[in-house]
Amino acid sequence: MNDWHLKQLDVNNAFLHGELHEEIYMQVPPGMDSSAGQVCKLNKSLYGLRQANKQWYEKLSSFLILQGYARSNVDHSLFLRRTENSMTIALVYVDDITLAGNDVVEIEKLTHLLNETFKIKNLGDLTYFLRLEVARNKTGIHLCQRKYVLDLLEGARMMNCAPAITPMNHKLAANIGGILPDPSSYRRLIGKLIYLTNTRPDITHAVQHLSQFVYAPTSIHQQAAMRILRYLKKTPGNGIFLAANSEAQLKRYSDSDWAGCAETRKSVTGYIIYFGNSPTSWRSKKQPTVSRSSSEAKYKALAATTCEIQWLKYLLDDIGINHRSPTVLYCDNQSAIQIASNQVMHERTKHIEIDCHIVREKINNGLLKLLPVSSKSQLADILTKPLPPIDFKSICFKLGMLNLYS
């Protein structure tokens, strides 16, 4: 929205820069001459140590703090430096760093200091970060994982499969089909699909549903996972679009599928949060407790969404975006809205967990504003249950998902 610069860096041999605070010894590497009983004492961190990640993070964070950057309290991988006229952000993931800000001089200065201290690769403008493909123009940023999807299809030998219209067509149970003799391949596939949901809200519910069976997957579960791959074959380049002309306003959709799990009778929470016209956060998760009514299930979904919106509010404050107006929250259940707005305790709410009433507190504080929405316009519906092809395609379009490769 502010046309900030976006750069990416990669640190060479990051773990070797960590400092050790304990005495650590290792066996003499093969090929080195040594007498019996000799070992090596490490003076610095080394790849393979359990504390290597932690020591590298402490080394890098100390360096950034010394340069005037402050660590975010809501995301410890985020470092910010704010002056009267400039804002610079460093986002760290192990040895990959993304720099963003409106002061190109400060970005170049930090890049130079990082190179002098750690030796880095300056990869230029942000285009490919942690298997996320970033395409940017004046209208906004498109995020997708097309290469990741194609590698996934090739690894599963599904490049020539027949495409599917939707990622999931019906719910599954645990004890159907024969147990797979080697469940490791199913577990690896589900793990890879979970990472793909970073840019694909359209498969989030299907992946969440299949991840419940990783402890004892069956042939039916394997077929359902292959259906997700068949759907990805049809839309490998789909991703989310972050519009540059959006208004700096949070809005969200919250929904639940009451008693969606046929075995435990627990409900599924689904929510999607927009910043302006851009989807920024979404989730599909089974609720930890059973709900006695659909209103209670929706109310619990509102509570989960409220916690996420509060975290995003803190994050926006750190970045310097003053989001003072209440966040609009759309819910398609009038009873849940009344429970959240009504301060009177009655029979339908006396058993609900105390933490769920955070919704009422945030409404009173002006953080939230609950509004009703029709079930046909409930975008979070795609995160709670399998949908017919027409409804699924309609919601995908409304989510703002684009395919630049089509």
pLDDT at 344: 57
Question: Residue 351 pLDDT more than 70?
Answer: no
Instruction: Find the domain containing 212 and state its range.
Output: 144-234
Query: What pLDDT is stored for residue 348 in this prediction?
Result: 59
Name the nearest CA neighbour of 254 among 131, 163, 155, 356: 356
Residues 170, 122, single domain; the answer is no
In the numeric block, the tokens 């019906």 are attached to 170
Sign of the C-alpha dihedral, residues 68, 73, 76, 82? negative
Decide: 208 and 284 in contact? Cβ < 8 Å: yes
Structure tokens at 189: 């596939």
Interval 210-235: pLDDT, tens: 999 999 999 999 999 999 999 999 99
Residue 97 lies in a domain: yes
The structural domain count of the chain equals 3
The token pair that represents 137 in the structure block: 């123009």
191 & 265 share domain: no
Could you give the CA distance from residue 52 to residue 302 in angstroms, rounded to a whole number?
39
Q: What does the pLDDT average to over 379-394?
A: 93
Together in a domain, 187 and 271: no
Question: Is the domain of 251 the same as that of 341?
Answer: yes
Give the CATH number, domain containing residue 329.
Answer: 3.30.420.10
> Which residue, among 14, 118, 8, has the nearest Cα to 56 in the 3D structure?
14
Residue 378 forms part of a structural domain = no
Specify whether the CB–CB gap between 193 and 225 falls below 8 A: yes
Query: Based on the domain organization, do 124 and 157 belong to the same domain?
Result: no
Give the mean pLDDT of 337-347: 69
Instruction: Let me know whether 175 and 259 are in one domain.
Output: no
User: What is the 8-class DSSP label of residue 19?
Assistant: B
- In the chain, the N- to C-terminal Cα span, in Å, equals 26
Both 274 and 215 in one domain: the answer is no
Q: How many helices and strands, by DSSP H and E, does the chain display?
A: 10, 18
Rounded percentage of the chain residues whose pLDDT exceeds 90: 66
Report the distance separating Cα 82 and Cα 258, nearest Å.
Answer: 46
- Residue 378 near residue 270, CB atoms below 8 Å: no
Out of 70, 101, 130, pick the residue that ends a domain: 130
Q: Are residues 354 and 262 in the same domain?
A: yes
Whether the predicted pLDDT of 36 surpasses 90 = no
Query: Is the distance from CB of 135 to CB of 141 less than 8 angstroms?
Result: yes
- CA nearest neighbour of 15 among 41, 54, 73, 42: 54
Q: Are residues 288 and 365 in the same domain?
A: yes
Tens of pLDDT, residues 43-100: 889 888 999 999 999 999 999 999 999 999 999 999 999 988 899 999 999 999 999 9
pLDDT in tens, 238-283: 999 999 998 888 998 999 998 888 788 999 999 999 998 899 999 9
Same structural domain for residues 16 and 121?
yes
C-alpha distances in Å from residue 266, one per residue of 257, 292, 303, 354, 394: 9, 10, 16, 19, 27
Same domain, 259 and 368: yes
To the nearest whole number, what is the mean pLDDT of the chain?
90
Transcribe 331-364 into DSSP letters: ES-HHHHHHHH-----TTTTTS-GGGGHHHHHHH
Chain centroid offset of residue 50 CA? 25
> Rounded to whole angstroms, how far apart are CA atoms 159 and 162?
9
Q: What is the pLDDT of residue 192?
A: 97
Does residue 283 form part of some domain?
yes
- DSSP letter string over 189-246? HHHHHHHHTTT-GGGHHHHHHHGGGTTS-BHHHHHHHHHHHHHHHH-TTEEEEEETT-
> Which pLDDT band, with edges at 50, 70 and 90, does 349 fall under?
low
Residue 242 located in a structural domain: no
390 within a domain of the structure (yes/no): no
Given this model, what pLDDT does residue 131 score?
Answer: 93
Domain shared by 122 and 157, yes or no = no
The residue count of the chain comes to 406
pLDDT number for residue 224: 96
387 belongs to a structural domain: no
pLDDT for residue 295: 84
Residue 69: name the closest of 50, 89, 52 by CA: 89
Element (H, E) at 71: strand 70-71
Q: Cα–Cα–Cα angle for 311, 316, 317, nearest 5°?
A: 95
pLDDT on residue 242: 93
Beta bridge partners of 289: none
| Reported confidence tier of residue 353, pLDDT bands at 50, 70, 90 | low
Domain boundary among 234, 263, 297: 234
> Which of the four pLDDT bands, split at 50, 70 and 90, describes residue 350?
low
CA 140 – CA 181 distance, rounded (Å): 47
Domain boundary among 187, 211, 234: 234
Q: What is the pLDDT of residue 355?
A: 64
**69 within a domain of the structure (yes/no):** yes
**Best CA proximity match to 330, nearest among 384, 368, 293:** 368
Answer yes or no: is 138 within a domain. no
pLDDT tens-place string over residues 287-301: 988 988 888 898 889
Q: Please identify which residue in the block is written with the tokens 């209103």.
A: 295
> What was the pLDDT predicted at 38?
86
pLDDT value at position 5? 95
H-helix or E-strand spanning residue 317: helix 294-319
Q: What is the DSSP letter of 36?
A: T
What number is the average pLDDT over the span 191-204?
96
